[in-house]
Copies of this chain bind each other. A is one copy, B any other.
């Protein structure tokens, strides 16, 4: 697999109902943080706890569209994508289309997620076609 294929396959694995919660514990750098729509950071362990609390139940997730993929050096890349996801939060149904900026780093020949920031869930996909 090319480096780009490896990174996209990591994102596909992230967008999975079985793996999303614990995903960053296994696939992120030590200093990884996930920036929530509020701007508040959460680390891999906190992200896992959020999903295991029972308040959030993920029904489906997919990489709806990759808007940008670009190498930033021999061992770093940026990938910006829309993550389609359906979930319930304390019983309330959500159908989200957030934009996510993700940064990947290659460490010891293995690509890791080094940073992610996600928007709120109601992005307008048509704006990417302009």
Say whether A97 contacts B39, CB under 8 Å: yes
Please tell me if the beta carbons of B119 and A41 are within 8 angstroms of each other in the complex: no
B73 touches A39 (CB 8 A): no
Whether A38 and B120, one on each chain, are in contact in the complex, defined by CB atoms closer than 8 angstroms, is yes
**Chain A, 70-111, contact with B by CB distance < 8 Å: what is the 0/1 string?**
101111101010100000000000000111010101000000
Among A14-22, A47-55, A122-130, the stretch that binds chain B is A122-130
Report how far A115 CA is from B76 CA in the complex, Å. 15
Instruction: State the oligomeric state as a number of copies.
Output: 2
Taking a contact as CB atoms closer than 8 A, the residue among B37, B72, B120, B128 that contacts A72 in the complex is B72
Instruction: With A101-B117, A117-B117 as known contacts, state yes or no: A38 contacts B123, CB within 8 Å.
Output: yes
| Cβ contact within 8 Å between A37 and B101 | no
Task: Spell out A's residues near B (CB within 8 Å).
Answer: 31, 33, 35-41, 67-68, 70, 72-76, 78, 80, 82, 97-99, 101, 103, 105, 114-115, 117-124, 127-128
List the 4 shortest-distance A-B pairs measured between CB atoms, nearest first: A73-B73, A39-B123, A39-B119, A39-B99
Given contacts A39-B121, A40-B127, A73-B76, 13 further A-B contacts (CB under 8 A): A35-B119, A37-B37, A37-B119, A38-B123, A39-B118, A39-B119, A39-B120, A41-B128, A72-B72, A73-B75, A101-B101, A101-B117, A119-B119
